[in-house]
Structure 1
């Protein structure tokens, strides 16, 4: 098969339809991806993008329609058939084995790292892949010890090890720093220039306009439009995605900081017992009525900071105060009892319990409080009423409070998490990657709710790999690099260039 740029259609879908019972996820979709291009696939959560790509990669089979690869009709019954045909996908939720090392995960890739020839040969091949892609890996590190951003990089390297010619990236920048995204964007352009076909699924229109050649928008499971990036505008694509123009984001009122909500002093934390230090002499203040953002590349100590404040990771030394009270014996229960709340990074495995209902998830924090708790029992009627009220208030789209959480879209799951955490009116909210993988409408909703919490006098500690997000939401920004706070900037003086310089600096500034 040829993969010369401009040589014609790489992937052509005609009339693809996929139903789940009475629900139509994909409705007669026509899509044409060319060799030598980056094609952006856009749409709100639940628009049918992931379902369509699962059909392309053999996870699902269409009920109607045809598919051809390089002009040849194909029909994949299993993902390995698509892989052998040269189609690979980096999923938003990773397909790695956490108990194996990064090198061992690469060795599992068909036609990838030659593990059978010995560890030394495998390591050489891994180094070659790293050099070719510009994506760093740590061959001997367990995947379970890697951050989300590091796992995402490994997924991309593994995909390239498989020799894929048509590469599908599902929200690939969600956990990457700006510099890492820039390198990934260059990689995508280079792959397209070399004759590959690249499909980019992203909610970040700035990335789409920076790297893509063409776009297709899905809405309600059908194609709402397709066209060239040249001559298109972000406003046009947003209107196609949501069916209307989004209201412009309101100007945020200046912060009115009050008393310290979170005070961290001289915090030192190990990454592993007897291993390198993850945090070194970290000082951090978050006051009531402000949002403090943490900027830094993945693996700079963000996870260890959150886990230590939350009470699930011990500290070598240092102190943590919440609401003016030092947390001597830090535990998650103590953190919540002192007025803390958490919006975790891993929505599916940490933030929600998929096997429980929407109502049960929303009420988890309130089960021991009146009016839900009465004489040691849960008032089921009061619990249902509270869940219905909060679901409506936080615009959670569901069939009802009894719908299983796992059946909600990512955006609606995140709204339910916000409802659960913010409804208790906490003093401090730690929000980690709060809009990761969300569409433009859900993203604006999360931003608005966090800002409203700040305006009511609450404190927010925002941790995100997206510099634009940190700059847009934060009143102050602390730059964390190699386990140390390199500087703290007021929002008015924070720029991407200045923050980037602090990320790479070895000096600590006031």
Structure 2
């Protein structure tokens, strides 16, 4: 596979692609990285592992010029380097697909690809970029929609744009931060094959992932960080998954018991004949969801399986009242949701863990207590006679932080400074604090480490066992199979069938998806 030239293709590759020595990074009194050594060879896929907040992303931001280390050194191909700005790292052939995207929402996908901050003066050759993107699509299967605005793309589609952008810039050292978090299993397989081809072509690939099955399927070597320091490193062939987990968390994680049958009650969510346009503002827009029927009862978790772009986003937006459907009906606890606006959804006992917590679920500059109590501030006991009891709100937030194991310096810490796992637990605390009748969880463990993932799963099951209804939407078939009582297969905007989770398999789900293509 031939990739574009970044200007760094002339390196001799006589030594390691990358060597970090005793790298340390502090933020005030907090040490994010301490004396970290990391070496990655050309032609190698190197897994960088650790819990949320272990320092993995900080280390990679140092490598890509977003941060500068307080101590230590970096070598690229045996030569010492210092990156003061990201464009310097880009010029050196280093590229990173960040877990939280770096795209410009109000530009098209093609325009985002064409932006070249490493070039001075800034240039944008749209025709050449389109040709490059088409070549990459032919080689990798990672296709974009060139003329669509990024803000109209789903999370998984935005992640795909980030990956294509990286390849368009011709990076020789490629860093993937949780790249499969929003991909379907088939899309992950394509990406894994791409990583292997890149390594076989002599590139160096760094993979940051919490999914050990994926790590073992593609990586050659590993480095584990725990609390900012190296806890272990070596060939993956010499360790087991349990050993890696022990290195990451400093102990073992108790196995989560399998989902036990429970008695279901009355329908809490009823979707009937739902048609939703892809573009709600256009009368001629094609349907993203057609004739969808769905029921979720109290005391059960219904999983929705399907590849990205199959109508999941439109389904959620119709249920919570953001987009009015063209036809059909949605009822939550017997309340008609056809009026536009989410307040009726919440008033009926609904709650939502959205797909993209950074854009939708939290306000990064606000404190933890403000984010956790956001939905409670308009009603008693936190507000009486139009006045907010700030002290009571903070005390309630601290109680929820303890209950949901939200770890922060204090309730006054800006939530944007916390790790992804703690942010997600804060969202979970807010959404479950009122014991909602219906909880919609969209990709609820995206980008979370093994311990945070286990915590979220247990809370969802606890809510279901207490009589709550849970609609779980995920691109991860293993997650849907393990966490659901019933599974609804959504493909090409239509509900293709329903399966009991106890007897469903990846193959039976895949058959329903394939039959949709054939139809």
Q: TM-score range by the shorter chain?
A: over 0.9
1:255 to 262, 267, 274: 262
Q: 1:98 to 1:28 in 2, by over 3 A?
A: same
Aligned residue in 2 for 1:278:
288
Aligned residue in 2 for 1:380:
390
Q: How does 1:233-244 map to 2 (within 5 A)?
A: 233-244=240-251
* Per-residue deviation, 1:111: 8.7
Structure 1 CA distance for aligned equivalents of residues 359 and 233 of structure 2: 35
- The range that moved more, 338-347 or 378-387, is 378-387
Aligned residue in 1 for 2:193:
186
* Residue 217 (structure 2) pairs with residue 210 (structure 1): yes
Q: Deviations over 1:384-411 (max 9, x none)?
A: 2211111101111112222221222111
Q: Deviations over 1:144-201 (max 9, x none)?
A: 1111111111111110111111000000001111000000000000100110000000
Aligned residue in 2 for 1:104:
111
Structure 2 CA distance for aligned equivalents of residues 134 and 419 of structure 1: 39
Contact 1:485-1:508 within 8 A present in 2 as well: no
Question: Can you give the 5+ residue segments of structure 1 that lack an aligned partner in the other structure?
Answer: none
2:328 to 318, 337, 345: 318
Structure 2 CA distance for aligned equivalents of residues 365 and 381 of structure 1: 16
Aligned residue in 2 for 1:174:
181
Q: How does 1:78-477 map to 2 (within 5 A)?
A: 78-109=85-116, 121-272=128-279, 273=282, 274-477=284-487
* Per-residue deviation, 1:304: 0.6
Q: 1:433 to 1:117 in 2, by over 3 A?
A: closer
* Per-residue deviation, 1:77: 0.7
Structure 2 CA distance for aligned equivalents of residues 359 and 31 of structure 1: 37
Structure 2 CA distance for aligned equivalents of residues 194 and 3 of structure 1: 14
Aligned residue in 2 for 1:34:
41
Contact 2:353-2:361 within 8 A present in 1 as well: yes
Q: 1:166 to 1:116 in 2, by over 3 A?
A: closer
Contact 1:387-1:401 within 8 A present in 2 as well: yes
- The range that moved more, 272-281 or 236-245, is 272-281
Structure 1 CA distance for aligned equivalents of residues 491 and 258 of structure 2: 30
* Per-residue deviation, 1:483: 0.6
Aligned residue in 1 for 2:20:
13
Question: Can you give the 5+ residue segments of structure 2 that lack an aligned partner in the other structure?
Answer: 1-8
Structure 2 CA distance for aligned equivalents of residues 4 and 482 of structure 1: 47
TM-score normalised over the length of structure 2: 0.94
Tell me the SS of whatever aligns to 1:493: coil
Contact 2:91-2:118 within 8 A present in 1 as well: no
Structure 1 CA distance for aligned equivalents of residues 404 and 466 of structure 2: 17
Structure 2 CA distance for aligned equivalents of residues 321 and 361 of structure 1: 28
Aligned Cα root-mean-square deviation (Å): 1.9
Structure 1 CA distance for aligned equivalents of residues 253 and 123 of structure 2: 54
Structure 2 CA distance for aligned equivalents of residues 117 and 29 of structure 1: 38
* Residue 64 (structure 2) pairs with residue 54 (structure 1): no
Q: Deviations over 1:464-499 (max 9, x none)?
A: 111111111111111111110011111012111221
Alignment size in residue pairs: 506
Structure 2 CA distance for aligned equivalents of residues 248 and 4 of structure 1: 47
Structure 1 CA distance for aligned equivalents of residues 186 and 368 of structure 2: 38
- The range that moved more, 346-355 or 72-81, is 346-355
Runs of 4+ in 1 over 6 A off after TM superposition: 1-5, 115-118
Structure 2 CA distance for aligned equivalents of residues 158 and 416 of structure 1: 32
